[in-house]
């Protein structure tokens, strides 16, 4: 979910009236970058207790991992925390249904900022889904069909992740430090996966998270090698309906609401005309205040202006911002337009479920799909207004492949904006990529969407899907991922 755009953009509209409360990042010291000795076969772990794994040389990192036989009876699964000093990141890990000893490893995070990856797990691509009050149901099109996969609640303050002394994370760059430590520790303790091809995937605000996280993991490899450890075999990034470049996304709200880019125009002509006339001013202001250099006050003002002119008209409609082909179900602040999210929260509130998962007993509050506190902190830091596409070019230039896929009916992180930045940004394959026409790609002989691909970068749309592609189009999404993991053309 790109919660920030939906709600914090609206929050931004209220800036003028409210004294917006800013939360500045707490300083956290440098982490000890050290690492770990390998774990043995994890399947010996207990189902009732955590096994604490730690390395004598690095006492401030540890792993509390628990075998949690739930969700997918056909594979080994684990849940637990990776502890980075006083910061505790909760994860779910499922081995592959195919060949855990050979298959690649996928890291998954949802967006927000502030939303739990349990949404991705139980609503979209996990081995089981929680779609009603009856609990988990086996999901045949899970992304662990051909890969080992973990889902992380991040940053701290999201889902079941927490910190001991009120530490907070307010930017993607800070979050990336915890994630890189998490990944290093994970592979040290789940040592049979060491050196395995590793893919970092995310959705929505993941379009900002994933390139920064992957870059941190890539850069960290030098330290791992110096410490005599196996580097992380970072192979690709995958971004679904991402917000990677705000500068192309914001003007595209016009295209989505006022042209047949996905469905027939939904706003009236007079509103659309006004929006169209505003685009040059919005772009100029954003470019001067957020892109060429980031001037916090002016960038925020530009965002308020652009939101009022280009996003607010959409929110006056009844349409679902995550899928303009349908109306929002429930209040967006309550259901995120998808009542299924309520079932997931209720499931994660069950005492027996928390016990199975090994949720830390200090977490007593009701489960919250998305943390407003985390979202507000990122907004106060204008985290979104940082040039994330530079990370994507740097990764591509170093041979890390990138898949940018977009459900075609999403408004909030739409295909128009995503196509624009992928065509415009600078990288060593820009020339080859940007001249390619889109072509159809198919699943089982049926058109699934459009794509172009060159030099390690693939852009693809999925017809009939909104923001959460694997929720709307599970078969197509799995096929997309399988072909990507197999390094095949779509």
Ligand X SMILES: *[C@@H]1O[C@H](CO)[C@@H](O)[C@H](O)[C@H]1NC(C)=O
Task: Report how far Cα 229 is from the mean position of its chain's Cα atoms.
Answer: 28
In the complex, minimum distance from the CB of residue 104 to ligand X, in angstroms, rounded to a whole number: 6
For ligand X, the closer CB: 230 or 308: 230
Q: How far apart are CA 238 and CA 135, in angstroms?
A: 29
In the complex, minimum distance from the CB of residue 122 to ligand X, in angstroms, rounded to a whole number: 15
For ligand X, the closer CB: 169 or 403: 403
Span near ligand X by CB under 6 A; candidates 79-87, 93-101, 131-139, 308-316: 131-139
366 forms part of the interface with ligand X (CB under 6 A): yes
Span near ligand X by CB under 6 A; candidates 90-98, 127-135, 294-302, 390-398: 127-135
The sign of the torsion formed by the CA atoms of 35, 38, 41, 44 equals negative
For ligand X, the closer CB: 338 or 411: 338
For ligand X, the closer CB: 54 or 346: 346
Question: Can you point out the beta strands (E) in 156-215?
Answer: 162-163, 197-203
Q: Which one-letter DSSP state was computed for residue 28?
A: -
235 forms part of the interface with ligand X (CB under 6 A): yes
Quick one: tokens of 298? 């002016």
Site for ligand X in 64-103 (CB under 6 A): none
CA distances from 328 to 16, 126, 321, 334, 415 (A): 27, 24, 8, 11, 20
Rg (C-alpha) for the chain, rounded Å, is 21
488 forms part of the interface with ligand X (CB under 6 A): no
134 forms part of the interface with ligand X (CB under 6 A): yes
Does residue 235 sit in helix, strand or coil?
Answer: strand
268 forms part of the interface with ligand X (CB under 6 A): no
233 forms part of the interface with ligand X (CB under 6 A): yes
Quick one: tokens of 53? 């794994």
Q: How far apart are CA 378 and CA 12, in angstroms?
A: 13
**Contact predicate 239/404, CB 8 Å:** yes
394 forms part of the interface with ligand X (CB under 6 A): no
Nearest CA to 210 among 232, 187, 234, 188?
234
**Contact predicate 223/217, CB 8 Å:** no
Does residue 97 sit in helix, strand or coil?
Answer: coil
For ligand X, the closer CB: 362 or 366: 366
Span near ligand X by CB under 6 A; candidates 15-23, 91-99, 130-138, 469-477: 130-138
In DSSP notation, 263-317 reads SS--S-HHHHHHHHHHHHHHHHHHIIIIISS--HHHHHHHHHHHIIIIIHHHHTS
- Residue 139, phi then psi, degrees to nearest 5: -115, 105
- Residue 312, phi then psi, degrees to nearest 5: -55, -40
In the complex, minimum distance from the CB of residue 364 to ligand X, in angstroms, rounded to a whole number: 9
48 forms part of the interface with ligand X (CB under 6 A): no
270 forms part of the interface with ligand X (CB under 6 A): no
**Could you say which of 195, 330, 339, 399 contacts ligand X (CB under 6 A)?**
195
In the complex, minimum distance from the CB of residue 132 to ligand X, in angstroms, rounded to a whole number: 4
Q: Which residue has the tokens 């992304």?
A: 143
**Could you say which of 197, 291, 296, 423 contacts ligand X (CB under 6 A)?**
197
In the complex, minimum distance from the CB of residue 124 to ligand X, in angstroms, rounded to a whole number: 19
For ligand X, the closer CB: 147 or 181: 147
Site for ligand X in 327-356 (CB under 6 A): none
Residues labelled as active-site residues: 204, 410, 467
In the complex, minimum distance from the CB of residue 172 to ligand X, in angstroms, rounded to a whole number: 26
In the complex, minimum distance from the CB of residue 461 to ligand X, in angstroms, rounded to a whole number: 27
# residues contacting ligand X (CB under 6 A): 8
**Could you say which of 40, 47, 132, 219 contacts ligand X (CB under 6 A)?**
132
133 forms part of the interface with ligand X (CB under 6 A): yes
- Site for ligand X, rule CB under 6 A: 132-134, 195, 197, 233, 235, 366
């Amino acid at each position: 979910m790109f919660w920030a755009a939906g709600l914090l953009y609206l929050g931004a509209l209220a800036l003028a009236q409210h004294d917006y409360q800013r939360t500045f990042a707490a300083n956290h010291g440098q982490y000890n970058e050290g690492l770990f000795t390998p774990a043995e076969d994890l399947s010996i772990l207990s189902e009732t207790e955590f096994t604490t794994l730690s390395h004598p040389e690095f006492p401030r990192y540890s792993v509390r991992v628990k075998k949690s036989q739930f969700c997918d009876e056909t594979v080994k699964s684990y849940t637990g925390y990776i502890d980075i000093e006083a910061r505790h990141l909760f994860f779910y890990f499922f081995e592959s249904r195919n060949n855990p000893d050979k298959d690649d490893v996928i890291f998954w995070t949802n967006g927000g900022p502030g939303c739990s990856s349990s949404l991705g797990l139980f609503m979209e691509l996990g081995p089981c889904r929680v779609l009603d009050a009856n609990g988990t149901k086996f999901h045949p099109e899970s992304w662990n069909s051909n890969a080992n996969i973990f889902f992380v609640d991040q940053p701290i303050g999201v889902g079941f992740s927490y910190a001991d002394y009120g530490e907070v994370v307010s930017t993607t760059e800070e979050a990336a430090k915890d994630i890189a430590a998490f990944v290093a520790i994970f592979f040290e303790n789940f040592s049979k996966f060491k050196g395995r091809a590793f893919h970092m995937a995310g959705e929505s605000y993941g379009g900002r998270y994933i390139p920064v996280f992957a870059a941190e993991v890539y850069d960290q490899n030098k330290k791992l090698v110096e410490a005599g450890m196996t580097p992380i075999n970072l192979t690709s990034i995958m971004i679904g309906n991402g917000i990677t470049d705000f500068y192309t996304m914001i003007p595209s709200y016009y295209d989505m609401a006022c042209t047949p880019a996905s469905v027939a125009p939904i706003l009236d002509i007079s509103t659309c005309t006004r929006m169209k006339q505003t685009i040059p001013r919005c772009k100029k202001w954003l470019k001067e205040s957020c892109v060429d250099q980031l001037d916090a006050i002016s960038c925020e003002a530009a965002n308020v202006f652009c939101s009022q002119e280009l996003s607010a008209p959409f929110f006056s409609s009844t349409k679902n911002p995550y899928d303009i082909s349908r109306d929002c179900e429930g209040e967006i602040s309550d259901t995120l337009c998808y009542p299924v999210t309520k079932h997931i929260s209720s499931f994660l509130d069950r005492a027996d479920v928390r016990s199975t998962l090994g949720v830390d007993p200090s977490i007593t509050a009701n489960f919250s799909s998305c943390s407003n506190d985390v979202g507000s902190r990122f907004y106060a830091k204008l985290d979104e207004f940082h040039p994330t596409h530079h990370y994507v070019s740097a990764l591509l230039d170093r041979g890390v492949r990138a898949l940018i896929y977009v459900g075609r009916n999403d408004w909030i992180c739409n295909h128009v904006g995503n196509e624009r930045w992928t065509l415009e940004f600078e990288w060593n394959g820009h020339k080859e990529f940007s001249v390619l026409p889109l072509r159809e790609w198919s699943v089982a002989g049926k058109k699934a969407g459009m794509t172009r691909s060159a030099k390690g970068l693939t852009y693809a749309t999925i017809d009939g899907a909104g923001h959460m592609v694997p929720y709307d189009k599970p078969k197509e999404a799995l096929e997309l991922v399988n072909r990507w993991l197999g390094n095949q053309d779509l």
